[in-house]
């Protein structure tokens, strides 16, 4: 099982801002005392040298891993944007990326939650509903 190298000590807000507030805060989790972005099929951290450490795995059950076809599909999608080397072992892969745009372009295939974008109409409906509940007590 792959152990991510020492990562930069970022708090949740700093990691959220690093990815330009396009990732849901729910996807940023404290794992072993370090904040990482977790997706259905990956974990993402930032190394001290500024590189992005991407670990493709089944983060809910690390010992079970992913199917080799799923790992290959994810790597193919990532390598279509940028050529990088990944170490591949049964059911998981890991590598380093230079550009956070690669992660942001592949949020769906990595299983990372995006920040919810609400329209002005939806925000108005929600605030009206909240105000109605608050003042009808």
* Number of structural domains the chain divides into: 1
Q: Is residue 71 domain-resident?
A: yes
Residue 3 lies in a domain: no
Could you report the per-residue pLDDT of 105-135, keeping only the tens digit for each? 999 999 999 998 889 999 999 999 999 888 7
Domain carrying residue 103: 12-135
Q: Is residue 64 scored above 70 in pLDDT?
A: yes
Q: Is 0.95 topped by the overall pTM? A: no
Q: Is residue 1 part of a domain?
A: no
For residue 36, tell me if it sits in a domain.
yes
Distance CA 55, CA 92 (A): 7
- Domain with residue 32: its CATH number is 3.90.1150
5 in a domain, yes or no? Answer: no
Mean pLDDT estimate for the chain? 87
Residue 6 resides in a domain: no
Residue-wise pLDDT tens digits, 17-50: 999 999 999 999 998 888 999 999 999 999 888 8
The span from the CA of 127 to the CA of 133, in Å, is 10
Tell me, yes or no, whether 2 lies in a domain: no
Instruction: Using a pLDDT cut of 90, give the percent of the chain over it.
Output: 46
- Contact between 11 and 35 under an 8 Å Cβ cutoff? The reply is yes
Q: Is 1 helix (H, G, I), strand (E, B) or coil?
A: coil
């Amino acid at each position: 099982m792959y152990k991510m190298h020492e990562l930069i000590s970022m708090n949740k807000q700093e990691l959220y801002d690093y990815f330009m507030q396009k990732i849901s805060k729910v996807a940023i989790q404290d794992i072993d005392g370090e904040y990482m972005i977790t997706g259905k099929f990956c974990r993402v951290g930032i190394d001290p040298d500024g590189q992005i450490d991407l670990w493709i795995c089944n983060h809910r059950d690390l010992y079970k891993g992913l199917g080799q076809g799923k790992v290959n599909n994810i790597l193919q999608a990532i390598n279509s944007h940028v050529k990088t080397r990944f170490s591949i072992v049964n059911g998981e892969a890991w590598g380093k990326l230079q550009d956070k745009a690669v992660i942001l372009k592949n949020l769906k295939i990595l299983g990372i939650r995006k920040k919810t974008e609400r329209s002005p109409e939806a925000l108005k409906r929600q605030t009206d509903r909240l105000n109605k509940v608050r003042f009808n007590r």
